[in-house]
């Protein structure tokens, strides 16, 4: 694979004082760094025109296929500031590979893993000052790919664009990790058998928004989807995978069944739990099993996981027909919290990285310098 040559165009940078003010309290997804990366693709020429350019609006033709048929995929990963000042990413090549799995399903072009990783490095190098150093803070990277051929016919586009933008992220839980209530959506599904549930595509999120609004109206932070065929087998949350913990220390999580997203946080937690000697069962799990297990004391913890929040403890599952499964005391589970601490410790460079999951960026000499 020949390396792509990136053209670097620096623009106005936000004054350091304003950047520091944002980094002091970034929230999530509110602010964006000074630059972005763009790589163009055409069926004729393949991937070309790799650029680092000032962050800003895209010129998109109103007939672009992405605007009409939703031919779009994305990824999410974080860059962490380590205690020695270096910047590290976590399993970025897994995101690169998953982008390609999504690309195949959405009939978009696959991006060589090396191009993905080079694009991440380019953006982190030029916007290194945007990687915050506060507790639990990180720089969230959002790679995505859109079909941008101007054509209203329905077929896979012959033109696409891959981009990465970046947004500083604060601690997900301010004032301590707090268990949440989640809403079981039986009637409305995010994905169905043979659909795009296993791809990270915008369409899956679009279909989760109404059920999420219903969840919020019922006092819930998140929505849990069932397999649309059985209405009892659990799939996942709108944007996070699910785990249950048994009293004997066994972890249960829905198997990768073609409907759910193969989360990198999920697979990392499975590995860390196995390293500690816990059994992990990846299989079909039902709401009935969850309800009965909590009632008879064999299921003692539940949590959701994903890159943005890492691990979110679940306090209650509620739904229509009076469904209410409640762990009771309102404190996050012990295994939930210790897995969370271990994984974040690896990511933030305060614990050893036995599986070689981190990629550390070479120290950045002149961040923001144009060449
Ligand atoms: C991104 C995502 C996840 C979590 O994946 P991570 O790689 O752990 O961030 C889970 N479910 C859905 C639907 C997702 O889009």
Determine the distance separating the centroid of ligand 1 and the alpha carbon of 353, expressed in angstroms.
Answer: 22
- Band (pLDDT 50/70/90 cuts) for residue 355 is very high
Would the pLDDT of 262 be above 60? Answer: yes
What does the pLDDT read at residue 369? 42
Q: How confident is the model over 95-143, as pLDDT tens digits?
A: 999 999 999 999 999 999 999 999 999 999 999 999 999 999 999 999 9
Instruction: Reply yes or no on whether the pLDDT at 365 is more than 90.
Output: no
21 pLDDT above the threshold of 70: yes
Residue among 240, 265, 311 to mutate when testing ligand 1 (max atoms within 8 A of CB): 240
Residue 368 has pLDDT above 60, yes or no: no
Q: Report how far residue 201's alpha carbon sits from residue 256's, in angstroms, rounded to the nearest whole number.
A: 17
309: left (phi over 0), alpha (psi -120 to 50) or beta: alpha
d(CA 347, ligand 1 centre) in Å: 17
Question: How far, in Å, from the CA of 306 to the mean position of ligand 1?
Answer: 5
The confidence score (pLDDT) of residue 367 equals 44
The pLDDT of residue 362: 63
Residue 177 clears pLDDT 90, i.e. is over it = no
What confidence score (pLDDT) does residue 220 get? 95
Confidence of residue 173 (pLDDT cuts 50, 70, 90): confident
Question: Across-strand partners of 325?
Answer: 317
- CATH architecture of the domain covering 180-331: Alpha-Beta Barrel (3.20)
Q: pLDDT of 187-227, one tens digit each?
A: 999 988 899 999 999 999 999 999 999 999 999 999 999 98
What's the CATH number of domain 7-172+350-366, 3.40.50.300, 1.20.1250.20, 3.30.470.10, 3.10.129.10?
3.30.470.10
pLDDT-based confidence at residue 371 (cuts at 50, 70, 90): very low
Report yes or no: 181 and 304 within 8 Å, Cβ to Cβ. no
Spell out which residues line ligand 1, taking CB within 6 angstroms.
76, 200, 236, 239-241, 261, 263-266, 306-307
The pLDDT tens digits for 158-167 are 999 999 999 9
E strands, the chain, are: 7-8, 35-42, 46-54, 72-74, 77-81, 87-90, 138-147, 159-169, 180-185, 222-226, 234-237, 241-246, 251-254, 280-283, 299-306, 310-318, 324-326, 358-360
How sure is the predictor about 230, in pLDDT bands with cuts at 50, 70 and 90?
confident
pLDDT of residue 296: 96
- Tell whether the model's pLDDT for residue 250 goes beyond 70: yes
pLDDT of the residue at 363? 55
Tens digits of residue pLDDT in 281-329: 999 999 999 999 999 999 999 999 999 999 999 999 999 989 999 998 7
What is residue 229's predicted lDDT score, i.e. its pLDDT? 82
pLDDT at 28 over 50: yes
> Would you kindly state where each structural domain of the chain is located, as residue ranges?
7-172+350-366, 180-331
Ligand 1 center from residue 327 Cα (angstroms): 25
Task: Supply the pLDDT for residue 11.
Answer: 84
Find the 15 Cα to ligand 1 centroid distance in Å: 34
DSSP at 329: S
290 touches 317 (CB < 8 A): yes
Q: Residue written as tokens 């310098």? A: 369
54 Rama class: left (phi>0) / alpha (psi -120 to 50) / beta: beta
pLDDT of residue 322: 93
Q: What does the block give as tokens for 353?
A: 């990285």
* Res 366 pLDDT > 80: no
Atom in ligand 1 nearest the alpha carbon of residue 94: 7
The CA 261 to ligand 1 mean position distance, Å, reads 6
* Atom of ligand 1 at shortest range from CA of 262: 5
Q: For all residues of the chain together, what is the average pLDDT?
A: 94
Closest atom of ligand 1 to CA, residue 307: 9
Which atom of ligand 1 is nearest the CA belonging to 95? 7
């Amino acid at each position: 694979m020949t390396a792509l040559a990136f053209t670097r165009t620096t623009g106005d940078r936000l004054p350091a004082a304003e950047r520091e003010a944002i980094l002091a309290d970034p929230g999530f997804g509110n602010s964006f760094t000074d630059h972005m990366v763009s790589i163009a693709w055409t069926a004729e020429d393949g991937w070309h025109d790799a650029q680092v350019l000032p962050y800003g609006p895209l010129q998109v033709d109103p007939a672009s296929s992405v605007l009409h048929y939703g031919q779009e995929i994305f990824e999410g990963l974080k860059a962490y500031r380590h205690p020695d000042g270096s910047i590290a990413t976590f399993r970025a090549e897994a995101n690169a590979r998953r982008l390609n799995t999504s690309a195949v399903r959405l009939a978009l072009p696959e991006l060589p893993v090396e191009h993905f990783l080079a694009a991440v490095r380019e953006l982190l190098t030029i916007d290194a000052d945007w990687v915050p150093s506060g507790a639990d803070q990180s720089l969230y990277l959002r790679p995505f790919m859109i079909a941008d051929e101007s054509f209203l016919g329905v077929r896979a586009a012959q033109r696409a664009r891959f981009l990465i933008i970046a947004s500083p992220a604060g601690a997900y839980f301010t004032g301590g990790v707090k268990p949440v209530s989640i809403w079981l959506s039986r009637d409305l599904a995010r994905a169905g058998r043979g659909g795009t549930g296993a791809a990270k595509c915008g369409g899956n999120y679009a279909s989760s928004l109404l059920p999420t609004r219903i969840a919020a109206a019922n006092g819930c932070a998140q929505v849990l989807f069932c397999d649309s065929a059985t209405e009892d087998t659990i799939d996942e949350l709108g944007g996070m995978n699910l785990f249950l913990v048994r009293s004997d220390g066994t972890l249960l999580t829905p198997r990768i069944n073609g409907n759910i997203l193969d989360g990198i946080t999920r697979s990392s937690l499975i590995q860390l739990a196995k390293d500690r000697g816990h059994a992990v069962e990846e299989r079909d799990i039902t709401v009935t099993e969850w309800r009965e297990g909590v009632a008879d004391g064999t299921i003692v913890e539940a949590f959701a996981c994903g890159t943005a929040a890492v691990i979110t403890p679940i306090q209650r599952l509620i739904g229509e027909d009076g469904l209410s499964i409640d762990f009771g005391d309102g404190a996050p589970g012990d295994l939930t919290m210790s897995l969370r601490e271990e994984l974040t410790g690896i990511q933030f460079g305060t614990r050893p990285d036995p599986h070689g999951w981190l990629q550390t960026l070479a120290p950045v000499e002149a961040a923001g310098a144009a060449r």
